[in-house]
Amino acid sequence: MTEADKKSRNKSRNALSMVALARRAGKIVSGEDSCHRAIRNGEALLVILASDCSDNTRKKFRDKTKFYNVPIIEHFTKDEITTHTGLQNRATIAVTDANFAAKIKDLTNVLDADSGQVI
C-alpha cells in the first residue's frame, strides 16, 4: 500500500467518524423520505448518498440536490454508513449542521482529489 493510499484511507475513516459524531449529536436525517423533506425545507446542508444505492434513488437525489443547490457526496457504501452510524441499511443521509457539513466536505474533497475523482 502506497503512502497516498494510506492517507486516502485515513481521510475516509475521518469523514465517516465525523458522520458518526454528527449522528450522536442529532445533526443528521436519514432515510429517503426524511432526506427529501430536509432538502425541500432547506435544512439539509450536505447529502451523503451510498455509492451502491439503486439507480432510481441516485437519480432522484442527484436531481433534487441539483435543483436545491445542496452538495452531494457519493463515496461511501451502505455497509460503511451502517457501520459508522448504527443505522441499518441506509442509502441516504442529510447533514443539517453547517460545521459538520463543512468538515465532512473538506475531508471528502481532499480524499477525492487524492484519488483523482471529483465529487
| Domains with residue ranges and CATH for the chain | 3-115 (3.30.1330.30)
- Band of residue 82 on the pLDDT scale cut at 50, 70, 90: confident
Which letter does DSSP use for residue 59 in this model? H
**55-77 per-position pLDDT tens digit:** 999 999 999 999 999 999 988 89
65 vs 69: CA distance, rounded Å: 6
> What does the alpha-carbon distance between residue 104 and residue 12 come to, in Å, rounded to a whole number?
9
Mean pLDDT of 84-98: 89
Task: State the pTM of this model.
Answer: 0.83
- Residue 110, pLDDT > 50, answer no
39: exposed, middle or buried (Cβ count in 10 Å: 0-12, 13-18, 19+): buried
At residue 116, the pLDDT reads 41
Give the ranges where the chain is alpha helix by DSSP (H): 3-24, 32-40, 55-67, 78-85, 98-115
* pLDDT interval class at 7 (50, 70, 90): low
Average pLDDT, the chain: 84
